[in-house]
Amino acid sequence: MFPNLKKRVPEPTEEMEGKKEVKGFLGTRNSIKRKSTFNVVRIDVLKESKLKSGKILDVGCGFGGLIKNINHYRKGFSFVGIDLSKAMIDAARKYCEGIPAIFYVKPADKTGFKTESFDLVICKDTFHHFNRPVKVLTELYRITKKRGFIYITDLDRNTSMDLVYEEMQRLAEKRLLTSMMLYDSIQAAYTVPEMKLLFKKAGFKKYKIYTKKSGKNFVKEYNVPDAGLRNILGFIETRWVAIIRK
């Protein structure tokens, strides 16, 4: 059964805090392999920001996969990860042991960090969870340094139903729980026009937002191995990317 994507439907209120749910994600956490979707985000953010060092905040960091990926391929950064799930934060602390990273259980709309604390703020596949999206945007902007960047990528509710089905099938082959969560997430996702409206409400002026399609340079740009092509294609073609510059 396909989800109805015409109107946004917020996700169920329960949070993924239990160890059983988190375990489903940790079983396949090969975040530094070339077929990992974390590679796409790492390549994009470093290309867009041109940063070679600095302090990075990962909003909705989960088990720390993105932080470990960036640190593996590019030294010179320090990291902070926040998530509402204590179980995920505990997992991140173990997974990123030895990395200059600190993890907190914190809400994205009230982080408590000092103004202009981070050179780069990343939010991957988390934005659709937020109950107060405009408040989150203004908070992330507040804690970003001048001339810093905010990078947000998330599911696009306006994507092709065929692509959604393929992505659900792919995830179901690995872990059914994640496929079921995608069903809820795609209904809660924002479209590009909806994000532009949220950016307007947040007072953003210097930003760009776009969707990606695979082209002839796709495999070379993201260094995608044949074994990971389906995984990366499904990730890119069902999401939008937004870059906000302060």
Say which CATH topology domain 19-245 has.
Answer: Rossmann fold (3.40.50)
Domain residue extents for the chain: 19-245
Lowest mean per-residue pLDDT among 86-100, 112-126, 158-172: 158-172
| Greater model confidence, 138 or 216 | 138
Per-residue pLDDT, 162: 75
pLDDT tens for residues 120-165? 999 999 999 999 999 999 999 999 999 999 999 999 999 877 777 7
Q: What is the mean pLDDT of residues 60-77?
A: 95
Per-residue pLDDT, 172: 58
| Greater model confidence, 109 or 217 | 109
User: Does residue 220 surpass a pLDDT of 90?
Assistant: no
| Greater model confidence, 110 or 87 | 110
Per-residue pLDDT, 151: 98
Separation of alpha carbons 184 and 169, rounded Å: 15
Read off the pLDDT band of 200 (50, 70, 90): very high
Per-residue pLDDT, 10: 86
Per-residue tokens: 106: 């914190």
Per-residue pLDDT, 15: 52
Separation of alpha carbons 188 and 171, rounded Å: 18
Read off the pLDDT band of 229 (50, 70, 90): confident
pLDDT tens for residues 7-27? 888 877 655 555 656 665 665
